[in-house]
Amino acid sequence: MITVFGSINMDLIATTERLPKPGETVAGNGFATAAGGKGANQALAARRAGRYVHMAGAVGKDAFAAEALALLDDAGTDLSLIKHVDGPTGTALILVGGDGENMIAVVPGANGLVTPADAETAIGRMSEGDILMLQLEVPAAAVEGALSAARAKGITSILNLAPLIPDAPRLGRLADIVIANETEFERLAGQEGMDAQAREAALVRLHAETGQTLIVTLGADGVIAIRDGSISRAQGLKIEPVDTVGAGDTFCGYFAASLDDGLDFVSALRRAAVAGSLACLKAGAQPSIPTIEEVADRI
């Protein structure tokens, strides 16, 4: 079983011909709302990959709450660990340029009220050998509590180091498996401006220090990882992206689901990379997450 402990948002998405520079105003050509939040996105991806998933987090008592949970509910995700708090549901303000790249500002709302006690409740529903998936859009104290409780109970923890908060390097050391993009990995390694050779050397060094499984997503260049002393690589699909919002979350959710499904490590990386590629072909975070059948057709 997979439990995702993390954020639940409504995404407010504007599309533009190109992303603005600092201080610049550009004309938009479209607007949409979509359910999002890194936690909810990853939970939905794991569920669409065919696994049983609990989502743990918080929403507000506002008009966005039901809409933010609708796709999770429709997919059959267990929502019994979600609390409803006074105030607004979390929101993300997203600009998507004509090349598919994006800029995002996140307003935590209810996500900021997730506590270590909520982490204890979520972990209390889990068993040894289950998988816990986390990100960094809820308070660091809650993430730390969940990671510590998971380790004490023999639960496999996967931490996605996004967004890149100041506590990310410290929290990253507490997880069994860490997933990061290139920028996040540089912060974890304490080394900026890595080329491919330096990145691989840093992976080997950190793995030797911690024994952790480390995964670095590289966008169009696929993914590189280290586990049990061995470097692995996987490629996604060659695509023309429409919208990269949610691609990383899709990778994370599909990777967790693949491990839960019993796939070997390299196969899990490949399936997750393909799913992440397919998520770039549609607009929006959750609406773009592919089904397991769509992914299987492209592997």
Q: What is the CATH number for 276?
A: 3.40.1190.20
Enclosing H/E stretch for 282? none
- Tell me which residues of the chain have a pLDDT lower than 70: none
Q: 14 lies in a domain? A: no
Q: 181 lies in a domain? A: yes
Q: 185 lies in a domain? A: yes
Instruction: Check residue 241 and give its pLDDT.
Output: 86
Binding-site positions: 9-11, 37-41, 137, 181, 217-222, 243, 245, 248-249, 279, 282, 284, 288
Instruction: Check residue 246 and give its pLDDT.
Output: 86
Q: 104 lies in a domain? A: no
- The CA–CA distances, whole Å, from 188 to 96, 140, 221, 231, 246 equal 27, 16, 20, 18, 22
Q: 15 lies in a domain? A: no
Q: 96 lies in a domain? A: no
**Residue 217 and residue 223: Cα distance in Å, rounded?**
4
- The CA–CA distances, whole Å, from 95 to 21, 87, 219, 235, 283 equal 12, 25, 19, 27, 12
Q: 197 lies in a domain? A: yes
Instruction: Check residue 113 and give its pLDDT.
Output: 98
Range of the domain at 244: 2-7+38-87+110-297
Q: 28 lies in a domain? A: no
The active-site residue out of 62, 78, 176, 249 is: 249
176 is catalytic: no
Convert the pLDDT of each residue in 80-113 to its tens digit.
999 999 999 999 898 989 887 888 888 999 999 9
Binding-site positions for K(+): 243, 245, 279, 282, 284, 288
Number of domains in the chain: 1
Binding-site positions for substrate: 9-11, 37-41, 137, 249
Instruction: Check residue 218 and give its pLDDT.
Output: 94
